[in-house]
Structure 1
Amino acid sequence: MEGSSGIGEHARGRGVLLVRNAQSGAAVVRSDPAAVFAQRLPQAVVHELADGEDIDDVVAAVMASATPPEVLGVYGGDGSVSRMAHLARRHDRPMLAMPGGTFNHFVRALGLDGVEVAIDALEAGSTVSVGVAEASADDDEPVTVLNVVSVGAYPELIEERERRSSLGKWLGGVAATWSALRRTEPLTIVLDGRRARVWSVFVSAGRNDPDRVATMQRQEADASELDVRIHHARGSRVRALASLAFGKRTAAVLRAVRLFPRDADIERRVVRELDLRVIPAPGHPSVFVHDGELEERDPAGFRLRCVAVPDALRVYAPRP
C-alpha cells in the first residue's frame, strides 16, 4: 500500500508537471496556491488550463516533448483529479494530487487536506498504491473512476443543474432540485437478467459507509471491490432526493424526520464487476455520472460495465 519513489528525487518540483484547473472549486473561498507553488515547487512546470482547454491535450503535448515529466500533478476538483489519474495510468507515472475543488472526495480519503501536505509527501517520496474502478458505456473505452459511478436521480440532478448554469452554481442547484422534486421518475435497470425500477444506482470504488446510499465520498485507498447501492423505487420523489445526501449529519437529520429511504428499499452488493443495462423513463435524459463528470448516452438506454482494479495508481500521500 505504501512506498517510496526516491526521497528528495522531486524536491522543489524537479520533473513535475502541475496542471491547475482554476475553474474548479469556484463555490469555495480559498487562498490562491500560486505563492506556495512558486516557493516550494519552483522547478515544476505549472500549466493553468485556459477556457476550453483539455487536460488530455496538455499532457499529451508535454509527454511527447524532449523532456517528459516524471510526475503528473493536478490542482483541481474530483473531475480534474480523476482525469489526471487516467492519464497517469496511461503514461505509467505517479500522480501528485492537490485539493482545489468543492468537495475533494478522493484526496481527502488519502489524507491530502491541503496543498502543503501533498508537497510534503512529494518531497519525502511517500506514495500510496491506490485501487480504482473502470467504467465503460456500451463499446466506449473504459474511464478511470476514483470515487463513484451513478445512474438515476443524481445524474439527472446534475444534468438539470448544468442546463441552468447561467444562474450560477448555487441558484442553479436550487432550481434543479425544485425541478427534480416535480418531475424525477424511476428508471429501469436490467441486472443478472432481472428488471427492476429504481431511483438510483451508486457504484463506488472500494467498500463504503454502509449507512449511505449516495457513496460519493471515497473511504479508503484500497479498491479491490465495488460497493454497489441500488435504491429501489418503492418510495416517493422526496425520499429519492433525500437519498442523495452524502454528509453524515444531513443523513442523520433526514433519518430522524423519516425522509431518508427505508433500509428495505436499499439493496447492497459488494462485487468485483458489475454489468447492467440502463433504460431511462420516456422523456428523461439518458445519462450517467463518474466523479462528478456527466456523460450523455443514446436516449433508448445503454449498457454500463464497471470493474474494480486494485493497485492501479501511485499517488503521493502521507503514509497511513
Structure 2
Amino acid sequence: MTSDHPHGRGVLIVRNAASGTSVIRSDPAATFAERLPEAAVRELAEGEDLADVVAAAMESDAAPAVLGIYGGDGSVSRMAGLARHYDRPLFAMPGGTFNHFVRALGIDDVDLAIDALEAGSTVPVGVVEAIADDDEPITVLNVVSVGAYPELIDERERRRSLGKWLGGVVATWTALRSTEPLTIVLGGRRARVWSVFVSVGRNDPDRVATMQRQEADAAVLDVRIHHARGSRVRALAALSFGKRTAAVLRAVRLFPRDADVERLVARDLDLRITPAPGHPSIFVHDGELGERAAGDFRLRCRIVPDALRVFAPATQP
C-alpha cells in the first residue's frame, strides 16, 4: 500500500513544546523538514488551545486530511478527540515522557510513525468516552482514574516550579502523609477505596495502576478497584506500573494484597464518587487532570470499539 500523503501532503502536525521536558529528546524539526516537507507544522504556543488551532486549519481553504500530533499522552488524547470530531485519521508521534499510547501501537520514535504514514498503514483503535457529571464526552486512549493517583498528580502540578521529577518526589512524600480513601457507589454497592483505574482494553492482570495501554483494538473496559483495607504506603505502592518495581514491592510485602483488588471487565461503568472531606474532586484521564466542583460527582465511562484510525505498523506488538 502506498501513501495518499507523499512527503506529508495534506498533513497538519501540531507540536506541543511543553511535552516531554523532563526527558532528553532530539528536536524533530529536521526530520519533519527532510521526510515531510509538504506537511503544515505548527508549534503550540503557551496558553494556546489545541482545539482552536485545529478548528482554524479545518476552516481554511486547504483543510488537512490528516491530523498529526507530536507530544505526550495528554496531547495525543486531545488530538484523538479532534480526529474523531472531524473524521480524520490520527498521526501520532512520541514527544512526551512516557508515550504509553503510541508505544502500545509499536511506535517508539518519530521515524517509525512516518514510515507508517508513508506506507498508508492504519489500525482501528478503540477508545473510552468518559463523561463527568453532564459535561461533554472526553476521548480517552489509556486510562481514567480516581483516588490516590489523581491526588498525586494534583500535588505534583502544585509544585511544577520544582521540575517534574523533584516535584513528583515532594508530591509523593505529601501523599504519604495526607492521602485518604474516597467513597464510590457502583451498581448500588458502596465501598471505600484507595483508587479506581478504568483501562481502555484488557490489561496486565497483575497490575493495579493500568496506566499503559496493552492492545489497539480495545472492545472492553478493564477495571481495577483498590479497596481501602491497607495503609497509605500500599495505596501509593499500587501506583507502580513497571513490572520490575512491582516485583520488588511484592517481595518486600508493600504491594496491595490480591484480596484487596477487585477486577472487572465491562463495556460501561457508572460511578458516583465522594472524596474525603477536605480533598479535591478530581479525576485523571491520560495523565490530564479533570477538576469538578467540590463534593461528589458522577463519572461514566463506555468503550467505543473502532472509534479511530491511527497510522501505525500493520503488525502490532
Matched, 1:245 2:240: yes
Alignment partners' CA distance in 1, 2:17 and 2:161: 18
Cα RMSD of the aligned pairs, angstroms, is 0.6
Name the structure 1 match of 2:158. 163
Q: 4+ residue stretches of structure 1 with deviation over 6 A?
A: none
- Conservation of the 8 A alpha-carbon contact between 2:22 and 2:163: no
Q: In the alignment, which of 149, 160, 177 is matched to residue 182 of structure 1? A: 177
- Conservation of the 8 A alpha-carbon contact between 2:70 and 2:93: yes
Matched, 1:264 2:237: no
Name the structure 1 match of 2:46. 51
Alignment partners' CA distance in 1, 2:179 and 2:3: 53
Alignment partners' CA distance in 2, 1:86 and 1:21: 16
Alignment partners' CA distance in 1, 2:44 and 2:234: 39
Matched, 1:126 2:114: no
Aligned residues: 315
Give the partner amino acid of 1:224. A
Matched, 1:32 2:27: yes
Query: What is the CA-CA distance between 1:11 and the residue it aligns to?
Result: 1.6
Matched, 1:303 2:302: no
- Conservation of the 8 A alpha-carbon contact between 2:20 and 2:96: yes
Q: In the alignment, which of 269, 274, 280 is matched to residue 274 of structure 1? A: 269
Q: In the alignment, which of 198, 201, 208 is matched to residue 213 of structure 1? A: 208
Name the structure 2 match of 1:76. 71
Query: What is the CA-CA distance between 1:194 and the residue it aligns to?
Result: 1.2
Tell me the secondary structure at the aligned position of residue 93 of structure 2.
strand
**What is the 5 A alignment of 1:83-98?**
83-98=78-93
Alignment partners' CA distance in 2, 1:275 and 1:199: 18
Percent pairwise identity: 79
Query: What is the CA-CA distance between 1:8 and the residue it aligns to?
Result: 2.4
Deviations 1:106-137 (A, max 9, x none): 00000011100000000000000000000000
Matched, 1:235 2:268: no
- Conservation of the 8 A alpha-carbon contact between 1:75 and 1:99: yes
Alignment partners' CA distance in 2, 1:54 and 1:319: 32
Tell me the secondary structure at the aligned position of residue 52 of structure 1.
coil
Query: What is the CA-CA distance between 1:222 and the residue it aligns to?
Result: 1.5
Name the structure 1 match of 2:134. 139
Tell me the secondary structure at the aligned position of residue 285 of structure 1.
coil
TM-score normalised by structure 1 residue count? 0.98
Alignment partners' CA distance in 2, 1:121 and 1:59: 22
Name the structure 2 match of 1:224. 219
Deviations 1:232-280 (A, max 9, x none): 0000000000000000110011001110000000000000000010000
Query: What is the CA-CA distance between 1:298 and the residue it aligns to?
Result: 1.8
Gaps of 5+ in 2: none
Alignment partners' CA distance in 1, 2:49 and 2:142: 21
